[in-house]
């Protein structure tokens, strides 16, 4: 009886490992790129049925679950630029989508969760003129000229460190002592909604410009999507606590140093009246 139990346990372990290896094999940069391409095509055509959706797929827009076909899906969306990150470990992606040259401009951050080659969740932060520092023209102008290529292995940062950098950055808003934990790089620039930290083309810009000096602002419900090959991590958070602003920060590191930070922050009940830091370009 004991021998049978041992054999069954070994068989179960083998089957589990095999299933995990098959799932991992199905989740590659190429497979994730293929799914993202289908999502983007569907978005352009305003037809969610063009996506490879799982039977119980969910659509979440600006933190609220709504039916597919509503929200941003009510009409075709002509966008000017997109950049996508691929997390092969958790089979999720994040796309920055900029639609500036239309009557109602948007900057969108979309997370896709893929299971067995199908999209199980589409979660979009859809920002427009009512949101924090929104300027789609500026976002397009600056983001589209940045270089977010695949890094050579020696210039990459491991997954755990990328998540820690994002987490330390978020900690600054509540406790300024976390400031020195962030590997600030030079040059480094930030885009926040459309506000840009280097409008005068300083050859050695710093991402420390305009960073709040603490202030007890919690960043909660943190989740991360990591693209090690690109040196990038997206942190999705509630800015200011559980009832705070839906937010996504995307970070790019090169040779272990912060190079780019992009921010999408929604203001569903109106943006707070917070003056920009004195060192932030107006």
Report all structural domains of the chain as residue ranges with CATH numbers, in order of start: 153-265 (3.10.450.50)
> Tokens at residue 188, please?
């480094």
Looking at residue 276, what is its pLDDT?
60
pLDDT at 180 over 90: yes
The single-letter DSSP state of residue 51 is S
Percent of the chain whose predicted confidence (pLDDT) is above 90: 81
Q: Which pLDDT value is given to residue 242? A: 85
| Contact indicator for 25, 89 with CB cutoff of 8 Å | no
For residue 2, pLDDT over 60 is answered with no
Q: Across-strand partners of 254?
A: 257
Q: Which of 6-10, 191-195, 236-240 has the lowest mean pLDDT?
A: 6-10
Average pLDDT over residues 253-258: 98
pLDDT-derived band at 277 (thresholds 50, 70, 90) equals low
Instruction: Assign 204 a pLDDT band (cuts: 50, 70, 90).
Output: very high
DSSP annotation of 160: H
CA nearest neighbour of 146 among 191, 102, 109, 186:
191
Q: What is the mean pLDDT of residues 215-221?
A: 90
Q: Is the pLDDT of residue 13 over 50?
A: no
Say if CB 143 and CB 263 are below 8 A apart: no
Given pLDDT bands bounded at 50, 70 and 90, which one contains residue 76?
Answer: very high
pLDDT at position 210, please? 86
Number of helices and strands in the chain (H, E): 4, 12
Q: What does the alpha-carbon distance between residue 270 and residue 254 come to, in Å, rounded to a whole number?
A: 36
Q: Among candidates 186, 135, 172, 167, which has minimal Cα distance to 237?
A: 167
d(CA 31, CA 174) in angstroms, rounded, equals: 39
Least confident of 19-33, 171-185, 241-255: 19-33
Name the average pLDDT for the chain.
90
Distance CA 49, CA 281 (A): 43
| Nearby residues of 76 by Cβ (< 8 Å), 6 or more positions away | 44, 45, 46, 47
Give DSSP secondary structure letters for 101-132: SSSS-EEEEEEEEEETTEEEEEEEEEE-TTST
pLDDT of 92-109, one tens digit each? 999 999 999 999 999 999
User: Residue 61's pLDDT is what?
Assistant: 98
Q: Which pLDDT does position 234 carry in this prediction?
A: 98
pTM: 0.89
Rounded Cα gap, residues 140 and 270, in angstroms: 24
* Nearest Cα to Cα of residue 48 among 99, 111, 102, 122: 122
Strand pairing partners for 58? 121
Confidence band for 8, pLDDT divided at 50, 70 and 90: very low
Which has more pLDDT, 281 or 177?
A: 177
Burial of 149 (0-12, 13-18, 19+ CB in 10 A): exposed
In the chain, % of residues over pLDDT 70 = 88
């Amino acid at each position: 009886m004991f021998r049978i139990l041992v054999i069954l346990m070994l068989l179960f372990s083998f089957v589990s490992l095999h299933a995990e290896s098959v799932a991992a094999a199905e989740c590659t940069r190429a497979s994730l790129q293929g799914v993202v391409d289908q999502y983007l095509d569907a978005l352009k055509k305003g037809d969610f049925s063009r996506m490879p959706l799982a039977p119980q797929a969910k659509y979440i827009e600006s933190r609220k679950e709504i039916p597919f076909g509503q929200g941003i899906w009510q009409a075709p969306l002509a966008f000017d630029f997109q950049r996508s990150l691929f997390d092969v470990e958790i089979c999720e992606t994040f796309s920055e989508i900029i639609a500036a040259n239309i009557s109602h401009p948007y900057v969108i951050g979309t997370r896709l969760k893929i299971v067995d080659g199908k999209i199980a969740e589409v979660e979009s932060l859809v920002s427009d003129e009512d949101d924090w520092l929104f300027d789609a023209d500026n976002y397009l102008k600056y983001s589209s000229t940045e270089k977010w290529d695949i890094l050579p292995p020696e210039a990459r940062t491991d997954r755990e460190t990328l998540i820690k950098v994002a987490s330390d950055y978020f900690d600054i808003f509540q406790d300024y002592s976390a400031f020195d934990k962030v590997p600030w790089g030079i040059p480094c620039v930030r885009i926040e909604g459309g506000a840009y930290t280097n409008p005068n083309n300083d050859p050695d810009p710093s991402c420390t410009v305009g960073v709040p000096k603490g202030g007890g602002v919690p960043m909660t419900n943190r989740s991360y999507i990591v693209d090690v090959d690109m040196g990038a991590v997206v942190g999705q958070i509630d800015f200011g606590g559980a009832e705070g602003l839906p937010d996504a920060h995307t970070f790019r590191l090169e040779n272990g140093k912060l190079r780019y930070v992009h921010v999408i922050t929604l203001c569903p009940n109106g943006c707070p009246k917070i003056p920009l830091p004195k060192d932030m370009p107006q």
